[in-house]
Structure 1
Amino acid sequence: MTTQTHDQLLSTIQDALKACGYTGSLEGGNLQTRTPLTGEDLFKIQGTTKEQATEMIAAADEAFKSWRDVPAPRRGNVIKRWGELLTEHKHDLGILVQVEAGKSISEAEGEVQEMIDICDFALGQSRMLYGKTMPSERPGHRLMETWHPIGVVGVISAFNFPVAVYSWNTANALVCGDTVVWKPSEMCALSALGAHALLARAIDDCGEDQNISHLILGDRTVGEVLLDDPRVELVSATGSTRMGREVAPRVASRFGRYLLELGGNNAAIVSPTADLDLALRGIVFAAAGTAGQRCTTMRRLIVHESIADKLVDQIVAAYKTLTIGDPRDESVLVGPLVNQGAFDGMQKSLEAAKEQGGEVLVGGNRVIVDDTEKSFYVEPAVVRMPEQSEIVHNETFAPILYVLTYSDFDEAIALHNAVPQGLSSAIFTQDNSEAELFLSASGSDCGIANVNIGTSGAEIGGAFGGEKETGGGRESGSDAWKTYMRRATNTINYSGELPLAQGVKFL
């Protein structure tokens, strides 16, 4: 286990922030930062007031008026430079992510790599903001569409991916000509300072206006400023379904746009033809990795009854080998839950599962690390359920894997789609017909559907998001850039005549 003292940890954080370019104070503020690694408090930094947040929105709105006219490839240069700085300081920012999100350094640096990857993607996109030309029914006319920036984009991100999701939105929004105001989770303010400082350096290096990017720090009350200010044209919010139910109507009430990435009660179907060794590795990582605190974590396993006992025994055996502890020790695979609330929620769900006929096969117990009661480490749990009971329909943001069985494929699909969430899904099968059906309109109802790979680990090249109570938003790759723009349909008449559409006669 790591032998780093608390003072050494504070020094490590200061060095990482300095390397990223942050020069502000880490003392005397009103926002307490802490680490789930030890449960200890870190620095008290200065939060943002509602008045300051409103001023930042005003500054971003004013900057938009000139930024929208900057040629898109030049806007792309800012993102290119950001990607270069992220590459240079991947380890520095990774340390900050590890400290606040409790990830292994491999996962923390992997999150920063996602930022680098989306910068590469958005840089290319800055030269490909394409519109279409359509045939006109009128002679001497051209019909086309153009895409334009929308304005200020508000980004609200969650603790579990403190910087990656921010970059998905910001890289696309900036190349599209929008400006960004970011409200990260108050649990990850230090990594936010590092990520924002690197972007500020990129903007400065490219000679652009610093007001195209702003960071507001604080609890939900300061974030609510983004929901209600009419100058914020789009609110991209990542969090719980409960949060989405509050965000959507407030933004819609002022006719603003919203992009929601909410709950994900993700499942995998395991067919009798599956490669069980492949399935085992995919399941264990997706269910236990990041201590079950990914939006794409596998929470339900739907296994054919003919192989269920064998596969479940293998999963239980694999769980017993998982190393749990402070992820600064590179031998550790499962780090901490973010706080006591997450631990209490897990215990409540396990009790409910048992009351509803479930059997806890392994895990669920608290693990005390470094003789401290301040942090919350836990054994990932596997629960065999007799049927799709109420608790299985609810997402618990902790490492609980519910196991259900099925007898025919239609039943498996029905079990899979029975929950209200619809983010990520997977099937393990060597039967091509089953794989194709799972990916068809009659199969998985999720925004992400995988074959022979787990529910976690999405690449930035594809659009990320889900259906139903997941919110319907799409961000990151593919054509997600269109979310940050408005479409205009244009008709150009070069005929010298004035024929009306549909053959209408007027004068």
Structure 2
Amino acid sequence: MTAAMTATLFQRLSAAAAAATHRRFSLDVSSQLLRTRGYVHGRWVSAPSDFPVLDPATGMEIARVSDCGPEDAKRAVDSAYSAFYEWKQYTAKERSLLLRKWFNLMTQHKDNLARLITFECGKPLKESLGEIAYAASFLEWFSEEARRVYGDVVPPPIKDRRILLLKQPVGVTSVITPWNFPSAMITRKVGAALAAGCTAVLKPAEDTPLSALALAELAEQAGIPAGVFNVVPCSREMAASVGRVLCTDPLVAKISFTGSTATGKMLLKMAADTVKRVSMELGGHAPFIVFDSADVDQAVNGAMASKFRNSGQTCVCSNRFLVQSGVYERFVAKLGAAMDAQLRMGHGSEADTTQGPLINARAAEKVGQQIDDAVSQGAKVLRGGRRLHGSFMEPTLLVDVTADMLCVREETFGPLVPVIRFDTEEEALALANASNVGLAGYFYSQDISQIWRVSEALEVGLVGVNEGLISTAEATFGGVKESGMGREGSKYGVDEYLEVKYVCMGGLNV
């Protein structure tokens, strides 16, 4: 993107476009899906104060939401606890049908739900629509899995006994979700919990509470009983006290969290006192490896899809690009050309925008610091490199990157592509696995033996082979090392919300 193009874009974005986008959103203010109060036991509840939700592209306020506190969180937990004893008595088919209705309503209202995402977190509208489809797919999937929670009949060692293994819901689940996928992170967790027979209390990210509250409205319309799904929105200032209730209350049996590794470690410590079940999807630092045998055009397409989705703000987006010497120059040239041709910055509501803002100024500053650190150590900027208006950051391509630079040692969460040259497969694997986290990893190769070796050797929970977009409701999602514990999605996602009870029936005359 040239300097002239950038100047034109941000003159328009910071003045006329900001006002226009604000007016467009105002058309939806009276929508039934635009809820601004907490949702506890089937009622919309106010708090003594509220907090602003800002459009990260313009900095303009789009709504004010009730700032729930620890007392509200406690009421929500109590509500979920009382509702649990009724909800778990619903048959699997009854729970399945309600989740299916919720899925249908999400699909019916996909345009409004996508618009909320775009204005809350800056995601381009096309991507927001994709997220709603992805989010709804978890409700569809778990509506089906609800009817497949099978126990076991085990052959006994003694003739007059029978051994049964029953699967039962763990109880109240606290759900804490991030801003970057404000709908999908909710349905992936809550869909599984409700399918298993658990109830849930959700604390959404302070940046994106509107999407969560809209889902609560649709859950109510679907007929989900009062207390089964509760939403407690709160500001950054209230987050610690609300989170403490959700992680320490003895009535909570399970915690499901997606967020930073540092926060996850704190929640684990709080959960330890009452030995709660915990599943966590924490930080990632995904390697993207291009071997000499790769189809370079295919690798470039995968890099564009993986890196620049949501402006690089996904937990599974590629962070460290490792390219073998034989294709290094070709890959870098083709990737730079693809960035020039395909990326356009702007407000997410504009039809041709592919790159929205980062979530806030702090996020943009972090990317800028990583670029400055790399350049100070000898890296070269081939594309982008500049911090722009508000929290916008130019998509940036760095070459001559080395393993000791900050952008290789820390997760970026922004549109930065640092490219490292390597010579051997062993060198690539050593670089890829030199991280304390292991969520996703990607590599491109046409050598089937290499594909098997590298797939098995990468220390991650998800592997994309010749593919940059791999998430789906049918497959597991979760990491190794400090990227967390447990798995979401797939048939295994329900297991995170179930206990296995052993029943021994003795003295049988059989």
- Structure 1-normalised TM-score? 0.91
Q: Which residue of 2 aligns with 1:233?
A: 253
Task: Kindly indicate whether residue 233 of structure 2 is the aligned counterpart of residue 217 of structure 1.
Answer: yes
- Specify whether residues 242 and 390 from structure 1 end up closer, same or farther in structure 2 by C-alpha distance, changes over 3 A only: farther
- Specify whether residues 311 and 325 from structure 1 end up closer, same or farther in structure 2 by C-alpha distance, changes over 3 A only: same
State how far apart, in whole Å, the 2-side matches of 1:459 and 1:158 are: 18
Q: Which residue of 2 aligns with 1:139?
A: 159
Task: Kindly indicate whether residue 403 of structure 2 is the aligned counterpart of residue 382 of structure 1.
Answer: no
Shift of 1:245: 1.5
Task: Kindly indicate whether residue 390 of structure 2 is the aligned counterpart of residue 346 of structure 1.
Answer: no
- Specify whether residues 196 and 457 from structure 1 end up closer, same or farther in structure 2 by C-alpha distance, changes over 3 A only: farther
Secondary structure (helix, strand or coil) at the match of 1:87 reads: helix
Q: 2:69 aligns with which of 26, 34, 49?
A: 49
Contact kept? 2:358, 2:393, Cα under 8 Å = yes
Amino acid at match of 2:227: N
- Specify whether residues 397 and 26 from structure 1 end up closer, same or farther in structure 2 by C-alpha distance, changes over 3 A only: farther
Unaligned residue ranges in structure 2 (runs of 5+): 1-11, 38-42
Shift of 1:494: 5.3
Q: 1:261 aligns with which of 281, 284, 287?
A: 281
Q: Which residue of 1 aligns with 2:461?
A: 447
Where do residues 420-459 of structure 1 align in structure 2 (5 Å cutoff)? 420-440=436-456, 443-454=457-468, 456-459=469-472
Amino acid at match of 1:234: K
Deviation string 1:249-292 (CA, Å, 9 cap, x unpaired) is: 11122211211111110111111111111110110121122111
Amino acid at match of 2:52: Q
Where do residues 295-444 of structure 1 align in structure 2 (5 Å cutoff)? 295-321=315-341, 322-368=343-389, 375-391=390-406, 392-440=408-456, 443-444=457-458
Q: Which residue of 1 aligns with 2:170?
A: 150
Q: Which residue of 1 aligns with 2:502?
A: 489
Shift of 1:16: 4.2
Unaligned residue ranges in structure 1 (runs of 5+): 369-374, 498-507
Deviation string 1:211-254 (CA, Å, 9 cap, x unpaired) is: 11100011322233211112111111111111112111111222
Shift of 1:332: 1.3
Where do residues 178-217 of structure 1 align in structure 2 (5 Å cutoff)? 178-203=198-223, 209-217=225-233
- Structure 2-normalised TM-score? 0.90
State how far apart, in whole Å, the 2-side matches of 1:94 and 1:74 are: 28
Deviation string 1:178-236 (CA, Å, 9 cap, x unpaired) is: 00100000100112221111112112xxxx53111100011322233211112111111
Q: Which residue of 2 aligns with 1:272?
A: 292
Contact kept? 1:235, 1:259, Cα under 8 Å = yes
Q: Which residue of 2 aligns with 1:111?
A: 131
Contact kept? 1:35, 1:42, Cα under 8 Å = yes
Secondary structure (helix, strand or coil) at the match of 1:397 reads: coil
State how far apart, in whole Å, the 2-side matches of 1:260 and 1:422 are: 13
Contact kept? 2:28, 2:34, Cα under 8 Å = no
Secondary structure (helix, strand or coil) at the match of 1:360 reads: strand
Shift of 1:425: 0.8
Q: Which residue of 1 aligns with 2:6?
A: none
Secondary structure (helix, strand or coil) at the match of 2:148 reads: coil
Shift of 1:115: 2.1
Percentage of identical aligned residues: 28
State how far apart, in whole Å, the 2-side matches of 1:343 and 1:133 are: 56
Amino acid at match of 1:335: G
Amino acid at match of 2:313: Q
Amino acid at match of 1:449: V
Secondary structure (helix, strand or coil) at the match of 1:427 reads: strand
Deviation string 1:334-392 (CA, Å, 9 cap, x unpaired) is: 11111100011111111222234332222221334xxxxxx321111122244321521
- Specify whether residues 63 and 355 from structure 1 end up closer, same or farther in structure 2 by C-alpha distance, changes over 3 A only: same
State how far apart, in whole Å, the 1-side matches of 2:499 and 2:100 are: 24
Where do residues 238-249 of structure 1 align in structure 2 (5 Å cutoff)? 238-249=258-269
- Specify whether residues 452 and 41 from structure 1 end up closer, same or farther in structure 2 by C-alpha distance, changes over 3 A only: same
Contact kept? 1:393, 1:420, Cα under 8 Å = no
Contact kept? 1:424, 1:446, Cα under 8 Å = yes
Contact kept? 1:336, 1:377, Cα under 8 Å = yes
State how far apart, in whole Å, the 1-side matches of 2:145 and 2:409 are: 38
More deviation, 180-189/286-295: 286-295
Contact kept? 1:267, 1:300, Cα under 8 Å = yes
Q: CA RMSD in A?
A: 2.2
- Specify whether residues 292 and 187 from structure 1 end up closer, same or farther in structure 2 by C-alpha distance, changes over 3 A only: same
Deviation string 1:43-72 (CA, Å, 9 cap, x unpaired) is: 222221211110110111011111111111
Q: Which residue of 1 aligns with 2:26?
A: 11
Secondary structure (helix, strand or coil) at the match of 2:502 reads: strand
Task: Kindly indicate whether residue 106 of structure 2 is the aligned counterpart of residue 86 of structure 1.
Answer: yes
Shift of 1:316: 1.7
